[in-house]
Structure formats: C-alpha cells, structure tokens
Structure 1
Amino acid sequence: MLKKVLLVALAITVVACKKEKEEESAVKTAQREVLKPIEIKEFGFNLNNYIVRRDTIKSGDSFGEILAKNNIDYAKVYKIAEIAKDTFDIVRGLRVGKPYTLLCSKDSLQTPECFIYQPNSVDYVVIRFADSIQAYKEKKPVTIVEREASGVITSSLSEAIISKNIDYQVAYDLSNIYAWTVDFFRLQRGDRFKVIYEEKYIDDTIYAGIGNLKAAYFEHNNKPFYSFKFQTDSVNGISDYYDHEANTLRRAFLKAPLEYSRISSRYTMRRFHPVQKRWKSHLGTDYAAPHGTPIKATANGTVTKSGYTSGNGNYVKLRHNSTYETQYLHMSKRAVKVGQHVTQGQVIGYVGSTGLATGPHVCYRFWKNGKQVDPYKQDLPSAEPIRKELKEGYLAYIRPLQLRLDSILFDDEQEEFITSAE
C-alpha cells in the first residue's frame, strides 16, 4: 500500500515538474517574441537589416558627393552611375528638395549598400551596389478613392475649387478639358460645375494627389457642357474627353504650346535677327517663358525629329496628319523620342535658350501641306469625333456616369432639398 502511495506521489511530482518547465518555456518564448523587433518594410526592403539614413537633395548636392560623404570612392560611384543610367540618369536626374534614402550595413563601417531616390510621392528609383550593381524603378502601392464635388463660380474657377477644399489640380484639369469650349477669362458669376474624380493614397492614408478626372459638367452662361474620359486606343493607352453625344471637346490644335508670359516675336517675312544681326524672315512664333517651363504638343501626333542643331538648339518636330506638322525650338531638354506617339497637351520638352537664342523661349513653327505658315492666320478644323465603331460602347459607358453627375446637387439645391425634407 505504502509503495503504491509513493508511486502516485512521484507521478504527481513528475507531472508538476513537467508543467512547470512547460510554463517556463512558454514564458521565455513569449519574452523572445516581445523582444523581437517589429518588421519595418519599405521600398521592398526589411529596414531592420540596415542602418537607415534619410535626407533630401540640397542645392549643390550630387550623387557622387552624397556617396563620397558616406565612404564610397569616386571610381565606384562612376561605375554605379554608368550601369544605372539606362534605368535612371542619377547624375542629371536628381532634383533639389526630393527625398532619398541610404541603406547602410549594420557593422562598424556602416557602408552604403543601396540608394533610393523618390522623384515624387509614388515613384521611386532603387540602385543597389552591395555586391553586383542593379537599378530599377518601382511604385508604392496606391489606393484609388473616387470623389464627387460641385461648385458655383463667384469670382474664378480656382477660387471656387479652393473654397470647397478640392485639390487645385482639378481646376487645372477642368481648364484643360474645356479649353476650347469655355472662355475661362470670361466666366460669369453663377457659372457652375460638377466633377467625378479620383484621389490617390499611399498606404490608404498618405494623400498622393489627383488621379483621373472621369467625368465633368460645366454650366457656362446657362449652357451645359458634359465631358467624359474614354480610352480610344488600348494598345497605346490613348484617352480623350468627349461630350454626351460623343463629340470631342478639343479643337485640332491648342492656341499655344505652353503657358507663356508674352509673344516676343511673331511670324514675319522680315525681322532683324537678334543674334545674326541681319534682316531675314522669321517663320515662327516666339513665346517667352521662364527657363524649364513645360512645352506641350499642340495636337496629337508622331515625333518625326528630336535632336539638336546649332541654329535650332534642342528641338522636336511632330507630324499630326497628312496636312499639318509643328516644330518646337530652343529647348533646354527634350522629353520625347523619334517614333513616339504623343497626345495633345503632352509635355515634349522644356523651355531653354539653346541654339541661336538670346533668352529663354520656344519658337513654335507650323506647316500646312509642307509649307510653313502663320498658325494664327489658319482656319483650323475641329478635332474629329469618336470613331463610329466605338460610339455605341462609349454611350453605354457614360450612361451611369451621366446619371451620377445629374444626381450631384449644388449648394443651393442641397439647401432646398434639406428644407423640403424638414
């Protein structure tokens, strides 16, 4: 009997010890989990594995100087830049005020292993050089949220947009969409608008600007104008805005290729050239504007020339159809290549003073049937409506958007609705 009691007691003791060890093990595991650092991921990297250094590009900074300050010799900097330039020209592409991140080794040397540059809030460029050199572009995950808004003009479109706490980009987009339909310098008090547009957010919380403006309604002098964005070429990703009857809101050509401060010289058969110091014809229109101002294609077309000559400087030439061509001279930088298709309003370069130029401007030249002419004296045709084979699909696509626009209330209508409901 005593033997049996002793065995039972021993068994209880063994079980108790085992349970105690299991509890100790569980506590230690929990402690390890608590002590384990939370994984921080950004740009596709686990930042816990690096010493992270963040900064912005300062005036006078260069890629070489940034790495040299962090103990990377110039020979390696040159090699990195040469390999990376097919992806991103890191030597010329850095802009003051833009953020960058250095991922450095977690040792006593803290040697940089990766350089990450953010030209905007969404895109980033990664250049890795710990072992082999790699360069690639990525985008942060972006969430799209659709918004609806309306407003009434009391003084200007921009004032009406800002008063509703809407991103100013919406005002810019509306002025572009209706550039040939509404005279924004002669808006009337009481003119009004409605918009359906997209906002972009990084990580669902960080605002990253405006996406597509999907549909709009603008009422000018009591006349309504609808506009809907529709993709007409899925291969080249070409979209444009059309009204509720599938007519385009654009004319064939913009009035000017940029936002300019003044016309410094018009098309003339006799002008005293400021550089060559002699009288000669000037078969273009000069638009003076600050250095770096974006130059836009005045109509859809294909790039036939993109290069440099001693007279033209950096220039681009576009063929729009069998009748019309345009050319843009004296650029500081070209933004398109030969053979590339461009859409009306797309940036094709930036204002400069290259070639035979005394100051920053763009010389805009216009051809009709192979002959240079004055664009201001041309009776330019309206742009073509949507293609017949796309019209039925377009009208079906815009139907729910038009219903949504019609259901958006203006402020005074909202007050009437609330009053009647009470």
Structure 2
Amino acid sequence: MYQKSIVVAILLGMAMWSCKDDQNDNLDPFEAYIEPVELREFGFNLNDYIVKRDTIRSGDSFGSILQRNNVGYSKIYQIAERAKDSYDIRKLQAGKPYTLLFAKDSVQTPQCFIYQENNIDYVVIHFADSIVAYKEKKPVKIVTKEASGEIYNSLSVTMAEQGLPQQLIADMSDIYAWTINFWKLQKGDKFKIIYKQRFIEDSIYAGLDGIDAAYFQHKGEDFYAFKFATDTLSNKADFFDEKAKSLKRAFLKAPVNFGRVSSRYNLNRRIAYYGYALRPHKGTDFAAPIGTEILATSNGTVVESTQSGGNGKYVKIKHNDTYSTQYLHMSRQAVKKGQYVKQGDVIGYVGMTGNTSGPHVCYRFWKNGQQVDPFKEKMPTSESIPKHLNNQYLQFIKPLRAQLDKIPIQYHNETTIEQGYSITQN
C-alpha cells in the first residue's frame, strides 16, 4: 500500500512538471524579458536613479533644499565650496525648476542637484563620489519654416489668425519699419516669410530663432528683405533688399509700433467746431491707447521736453542741421532736454494733454525750419552693403529669393501654409 502511494505521488509530480514544461513551451520569448526604455535627460539615464522634481520656493536656498533631502551641513559646505568656481549657488531664483537624483539604495542617498535657468540652460552639481559642478545646454533643433498671407485687415490680425508667433509679427514690423507704413496697408497686400524656430528635445517650442528672408507686396510694389552679416567677427547682421540696399532709413515711418493714422498733415483743413474756418494741421496724428510707448524716429538730441498750451506735454528732437521732429500730447515724457537719443528709444508715452479729443501722438516733422509732411518726403537712406561684399551678397540671396518666390500665398480662410523646410542641430 505504501509503495503504491509513492508510485502515485511520482506520477502526479511528473504530470505537473510536464504541464509546466508545456506552459513554458507556449511562452513568447519576447515576453520573457522586456528591456526598460532608457529615459535620458541632463546627460543621465534617469532609470538608474530615483528622480524628484520640484520648484525653487520663496526663501529657498541651495543649502535648505539639500538639508530637506537628508544632506548634512558639513557635506553641504563642501559641495558649496567646490561648486562656487563653476556656479554661484546664491543665484537660485524662485519659480525655477530643479531636479534631484537619488541612488536606488536602502537610504536613497542624494547624488545630484540639477537647476534649470531656462528651457535650454541648466546647471549640474554632482556629489555622489567626488564633487563636480558644470553648466550645460539641452540640445536644440532649429527648424526652418515658411509662412505667407494676404492682408484683409491688418498685418497683426492676419498673422495672428494663422497662429504665427507674436514675436514673428513684431520682427516683421521691425524689418519694414523704415520702408512700409503699416498703418496704411491696403486690402490685398501680401507677405511671405522664411524663418526659424527652436525646439528642445524635438517637441518643446523654445521661441523664434529669427527671420532669414521676407517679401512684402504693398500697393503693387515688391519689397524684399534678406538677412546678411556684414561683420563676420561680431556676426552682426542686418536686412537688405535684392539690390544690396539697406532697408533702413534715417527715419522710422511712425513714432509708435501699433496704432493708426487718425489725422494726416493737411494745410487746407477746416473744422466744423470752428465754423469751418481754415485750421491747418501741420502734423500727423497716430491714435493709440494711453500709455503706448512713443519712439524717437531717428538719432538726435532732445532740445525741448516741456509742456505748453494746446501742445500739452511734448518732446522735440534735433537730428541734424536739416531735420527735427516733435511729439505732442504725451501723458509724460521719458527724456530730458540735452539728452542724446537713438532711433527707436522710448521718449514718452501717449496721452491726452493739451488740445485733443482722444489719446494720440501728434507727430510733427521739420525740414530746414519748416513743418512738412514726412510721408511725402524722400528720406535719406542708411549705409548699404560694403562694395567688397556686394557680389558675395548677391550670390547669397539667390536661393533665398527663389525659395520666397515659390511660396504660395495663403488667402483668408485657407489652411495655414506653414511647414518645416530644413533642420539643423545646435
């Protein structure tokens, strides 16, 4: 009986082992072991660590953060002393993110502190064995894109409705600030742009990297703009047209970045309020919200910054022996008499001081002591491409112009024409 029981037990064991072997035979060998996906960031394989992410809080310091994470005072002092030559740990700013890496041991020993100054730049302080501190950058991909459009309202509205970056709108305005009056764009004007955007780790948008070339058709006239470095040592670049002429002029087209012309220079103006008496208007009014920055349209010296009667608070700038400009009805001035200003400097803010029915700046333009209409004056140009670089420039812009000319115009309510064209890696 005893021997029979042993035989039964052995047979059952063999049957179970056989079933186990059958199960193993049916296993997918690829399911037996799955290689963990390597998660890399800041130059580390994060799978090798316990990762803690947080944000610098008000009152935080490098020492207090490490102390909260079980690093002793003496160790903190050593780390701070070794790291100070590479990075000043006192510069940690509230609101900035940081990452702590801990060893996967029984006590989860802190090994590394990583501080992100911005989306691209970060600081690593590694203190696992020896103490090492260094600055690094995340890899940035530069993607070249194209965009185009037909103006039906304004440049900013047309570009914004396409979802184009705000900075791109501002840069376009800057490029053509000397040659096109954006307050007098016509329905049907067209633009094309070749520009670059930055992306971190392929997908995180990190801002505009600049415009390479642009085209604007205004009142049937073509305006090309190509970015070209005339000083390779400083990498200083500016925009020039297809004939190697600078797009810059001695004067900006307008003293405000965004607004509209509400009243033009008109020597024959008659106003109903004054019984249709002749009341010449020797300035150009740009309507804009109170507080809008008023810009110097050219380099020069402030000869007046005061307030008087109907002019309200105003600034007058002498640019040279021929030209002067005046800016009226400010809410306040930002410059003083005798101060030298450069083109584009903020000299005051739009207001309603003096005789005015609404917020605007009255822009007056003087030539040889007489007030004239700046929009009818042929303004002097800035320097163009140096002669020794002329042929090089013309060869440089050939492919860019061909690319611009091939971009189809996106008309209102059409799908946005914006596509990656080429990629470079930083």
Same fold (TM over 0.5): yes
Find 1:128's aligned residue among 126, 136, 153. 126
The alignment partner of 1:200 has SS state of strand
Q: Please give the alpha-carbon distance, in whole angstroms, between the structure 2 residues aligned to 1:159 and 1:76.
A: 57
In 2 relative to 1, CA 263–158 (structure 1 residues): closer, same or farther, beyond 3 Å?
closer
* Paired position in structure 1 for 2:214: 216
* Paired position in structure 1 for 2:161: 163
TM-score, scaled to structure 2: 0.57
The one-letter amino acid of 1:163's match is: E
Gaps of 5+ in 2: 1-23, 259-290, 296-300, 307-314, 316-333, 349-363, 368-378, 415-426
In 2 relative to 1, CA 194–86 (structure 1 residues): closer, same or farther, beyond 3 Å?
farther
Q: Please give the alpha-carbon distance, in whole angstroms, between the structure 1 residues aligned to 2:247 and 2:220.
A: 18
Find 1:247's aligned residue among 238, 245, 251. 245
The alignment partner of 1:91 has SS state of helix
Is the Cα contact below 8 Å between 2:149 and 2:412 reproduced in 1? no
Is the Cα contact below 8 Å between 1:51 and 1:103 reproduced in 2? yes
Instruction: After TM superposition, give the deviation of residue 268 of structure 1 in Å.
Output: 6.0
Instruction: After TM superposition, give the deviation of residue 160 of structure 1 in Å.
Output: 1.2
Find 2:340's aligned residue among 352, 360, 366. 366
Superposition map of 1:366-405 within 5 A: 366=340, 382-405=381-404
Gaps of 5+ in 1: 1-23, 272-284, 286-360, 369-373, 416-422
The alignment partner of 1:400 has SS state of helix
Instruction: After TM superposition, give the deviation of residue 123 of structure 1 in Å.
Output: 2.9
1:126-158 deviations in Å (ceiling 9; x for gaps): 222334433323222233332211012233322
Q: Which has the larger radius of gyration?
A: 2
The one-letter amino acid of 1:127's match is: I
In 2 relative to 1, CA 77–385 (structure 1 residues): closer, same or farther, beyond 3 Å?
farther
In 2 relative to 1, CA 216–263 (structure 1 residues): closer, same or farther, beyond 3 Å?
closer
Instruction: After TM superposition, give the deviation of residue 41 of structure 1 in Å.
Output: 1.5
Instruction: After TM superposition, give the deviation of residue 215 of structure 1 in Å.
Output: 0.7
Is the Cα contact below 8 Å between 1:62 and 1:94 reproduced in 2? no
Superposition map of 1:14-413 within 5 A: 34=33, 36-73=35-72, 77=76, 80=79, 84=83, 87-94=86-93, 96=95, 98-251=96-249, 261-262=292-293, 267=302, 365-366=339-340, 382-412=381-411
In 2 relative to 1, CA 367–83 (structure 1 residues): closer, same or farther, beyond 3 Å?
farther
TM-score, scaled to structure 1: 0.57
The alignment partner of 2:208 has SS state of strand
Q: Please give the alpha-carbon distance, in whole angstroms, between the structure 2 residues aligned to 1:384 and 1:38.
A: 57
Is the Cα contact below 8 Å between 2:152 and 2:412 reproduced in 1? no
Instruction: After TM superposition, give the deviation of residue 103 of structure 1 in Å.
Output: 1.4
In 2 relative to 1, CA 111–247 (structure 1 residues): closer, same or farther, beyond 3 Å?
farther
Q: Please give the alpha-carbon distance, in whole angstroms, between the structure 2 residues aligned to 1:110 and 1:387.
A: 64
Is the Cα contact below 8 Å between 1:102 and 1:114 reproduced in 2? yes
**Which is worse superposed, 53-62 or 400-409?**
53-62
Is the Cα contact below 8 Å between 2:138 and 2:200 reproduced in 1? yes
In 2 relative to 1, CA 218–95 (structure 1 residues): closer, same or farther, beyond 3 Å?
farther
Q: Please give the alpha-carbon distance, in whole angstroms, between the structure 1 residues aligned to 2:380 and 2:75.
A: 56
Instruction: After TM superposition, give the deviation of residue 395 of structure 1 in Å.
Output: 0.6
* Paired position in structure 2 for 1:335: none
Q: Please give the alpha-carbon distance, in whole angstroms, between the structure 1 residues aligned to 2:128 and 2:335.
A: 44
The one-letter amino acid of 2:404's match is: L
Is the Cα contact below 8 Å between 2:194 and 2:214 reproduced in 1? yes
The alignment partner of 2:91 has SS state of coil
Q: Please give the alpha-carbon distance, in whole angstroms, between the structure 1 residues aligned to 2:382 and 2:82.
A: 44
Instruction: After TM superposition, give the deviation of residue 396 of structure 1 in Å.
Output: 0.7
Instruction: After TM superposition, give the deviation of residue 270 of structure 1 in Å.
Output: 8.8
1:138-196 deviations in Å (ceiling 9; x for gaps): 22223333221101223332221121122222112212222222333443333321001
Q: Please give the alpha-carbon distance, in whole angstroms, between the structure 2 residues aligned to 1:414 and 1:267.
A: 47
The alignment partner of 1:176 has SS state of helix
In 2 relative to 1, CA 412–28 (structure 1 residues): closer, same or farther, beyond 3 Å?
closer
In 2 relative to 1, CA 151–269 (structure 1 residues): closer, same or farther, beyond 3 Å?
closer
In 2 relative to 1, CA 70–414 (structure 1 residues): closer, same or farther, beyond 3 Å?
closer
**Which is worse superposed, 228-237 or 59-68?**
59-68
The one-letter amino acid of 2:182's match is: F
**Aligned-residue RMSD, C-alpha:** 4.4
Percentage of identical aligned residues: 49
Q: Give the paired residue count.
A: 296
Q: Please give the alpha-carbon distance, in whole angstroms, between the structure 1 residues aligned to 2:37 and 2:178.
A: 55
Q: Please give the alpha-carbon distance, in whole angstroms, between the structure 2 residues aligned to 1:160 and 1:179.
A: 18
Q: Please give the alpha-carbon distance, in whole angstroms, between the structure 2 residues aligned to 1:68 and 1:205.
A: 35
